[in-house]
Structure formats: structure tokens, C-alpha cells
Amino acid sequence: MNPEFSHRQSAHCESGVTANLFRHQGIALSEAMVFGLGSGLFFGYLPMVRINALPLITFRNAPGGIFKRVTRRLGARVKTSRFRRQAKAMAALDRNLGKGIPTGLQTGVFWLPYFPPALRFHFNAHNLVVTGKEGEDYRISDPVLEETVLCPPQDLARARFAKGALAPRGRMFVLEGVSDHFDLPGAVRAAIRETCRGMVKTPVPFIGVKGIRLLARRLEQWPEKLGARKASLHLGHLIRMQEEIGTGGGGFRFIYAAFLQEVAELLGESRLQELSREMTAVGDRWRDFALLGARHIKGRGAEEISYPSLAGILRECADREEQLFRKLLLILA
């Protein structure tokens, strides 16, 4: 275990926190490896679930799932706690810090004062690590920031007990230890198979590539069914969920491409290099979708950009991802 907690910036909070906690235990894992081991890549379009009166669209597995899967697959010892009262939650955190134990927290972004006001929004599954105290303030290793920051206790307590969807309820988690012997290649294979099954093998129409195609069909219908204003709101919500809530469509695919590149060397399987490049290309198309969708909302190039053309990009992404994940399953068969 490293005596000092090493803060490293990452693209995504949960994979970054997990990688930093493992590094503190002396296990050097890249963020990409953590994301892949945690089967983080996912897609779900769940119109029956509402976020601020708009349908839930997710590009990753459930919050906490990456940490849970990585620690299970690598045989790590974990302690997770939730609390009903702020005072007890903060006292438990202080006890950990008094013992020199870096402690992961689930928080609401809106109540963290070190984020600029323009970047605060009501998202309650943001992960960070508290590494110590300076006076009354808490030293925070937030993986989306370049440096550690200080946070007043009243603000951290409020963030830990934010209300609404995915309410953290004071959740804190500690990586108590890691097994000296774990089968990384075996864990990688199991993780890839789970991701592939979720994307191309599920019978549920809202999940994986089927969910992307369902979203494409609904998107085409938005102007007629919802009207121009509400259609624009739904498109803006989709882009926000893709690009601002946890790295999103293109970003997650870039991370997974880096994971496949690492795995190609680990498993001695050169075919994974080509799939890594293909995943990067698909990520570029997701970014194209977000860029063109944003231009349409702002009225720039509205004649060239239509809801059917945007739906066509989604279908292209679904087709390319289905081919990619089926190839992955064949390579690991």
C-alpha cells in the first residue's frame, strides 16, 4: 500500500476512483482497464423511467457497478456503508480518515462547491475519494479534476445526502485489501463476455444495440408526436446524457477502445487491435451525432440536419457495434 494517496485525473469518475483506490493498494490498473473489467460499456433507452420528466438514456452500467465488478473479479475486500443521518455518516468518515484510510463517497454534483456554477447539475452518482482533512475542511481527490481540492464539511454532508434520483444516502466505500493472486486474463475474458452479452444478446428491446435502434425510431417520430419545441428538448436531453453525464456515448467508446488495446497485448490476440480501432471510429460517429444534434437545436444548418438523418447515424452506430461485439464473442469463444 502506498503511504500517500496518489491523485490522478481521469475521464470518468467511477473508473477513475476505482483505479486510484487500487493504485493505493499497490495494484497499478489504468482507467481503461478498470472500465473494461467493470463491464462499464452499456446502452439503455428506458422511456418508462423519467429523469426530470424526460426518458432515461444511459451509456454505462448502473452506478456502482464498475467498482463492484472490478473488486469481485480481482478478489478485493470491500466495505460499503450507507447511513440515515448526516451526523453518523460524517463521524464514520472521520474515523476512517483518522486511521489513514482513503474513503470513496457517492455524492450529488450540484452541492459540491468546488465545481463552477455552470457545471453543477442534479446528478447524484458522482464518485470521489476523501483522503484527509485540513482543519475542518476535507481533502478531496475528485478524479475529474487536475488537482485535489478542499471541501467544507457542511457542503460535503449535503452532497452525500442529496435528494432525488440515485440518492446516495451517505454511501461510502473502502477498498480494504487486494488478493496477492488474481487471474487478470480470466477476469478480462469474463468482463468482455458480459459486455458483449449486454450489447447484442439481450432479448430486451430497450437494451444494447436493440435499444439504440429503438431510440433511432423514436427520435424520428419526435417532431410529429411531440411538436418542434418538445422534440428539441428531448434531443437536447439525449445529447446532455451522452456528452455531459459521465463521459457518454463517444467518450466511453474511446475508453473501451483503449481497454481493447491493452487486452490485445495481455492476451496476445492481435485481432483485438483492429477492434480497438473500429471502436474508436464508432466513438467518432457518436460524437458526430452529438455535434450535429447540437447544431440543429441552435438552428445552425437546420436544413441539412434533420431528425431522420440523426436517426440514421444512430442506426449506423448500432450496426457497427453489433458487428464489433459479435466478433469479440467469436475471438473469446
Q: What is the pLDDT, as a whole number, of residue 304?
A: 75
* CB of 256 closer than 8 Å to CB of 35: yes
Closest CA to 252 of 29, 8, 12: 12
Report the CATH architecture of 82-170: Alpha-Beta Complex (3.90)
CATH 3.90.70.10 in the chain is located at 82-170
Instruction: Count CB-CB contacts under 10 A for residue 98.
Output: 10
Q: What is the pLDDT, as a whole number, of residue 247?
A: 60
User: What size, in residues, is the chain?
Assistant: 333
Q: What is the pLDDT, as a whole number, of residue 8?
A: 94
Q: What is the pLDDT, as a whole number, of residue 123?
A: 83
For the chain, residues with pLDDT lower than 50 are: none
- Output b/e per residue, 128-160; b: 16+ Cβ within 10 A: bbbbbeeeeebbbbbbbbeebbebebebbbbbb
Q: What is the pLDDT, as a whole number, of residue 3?
A: 67
| Cα(196)–Cα(62) distance, integer angstroms | 16
pTM exceeds 0.85: yes
| Cα(78)–Cα(66) distance, integer angstroms | 13
Q: Phi then psi for 182, rounded to 5 degrees?
A: -140, 150
Q: What is the pLDDT, as a whole number, of residue 1?
A: 52
What crossing angle do the helices spanning 271-297 and 248-267 adopt, rounded to 10°?
170
Q: What is the pLDDT, as a whole number, of residue 198?
A: 96
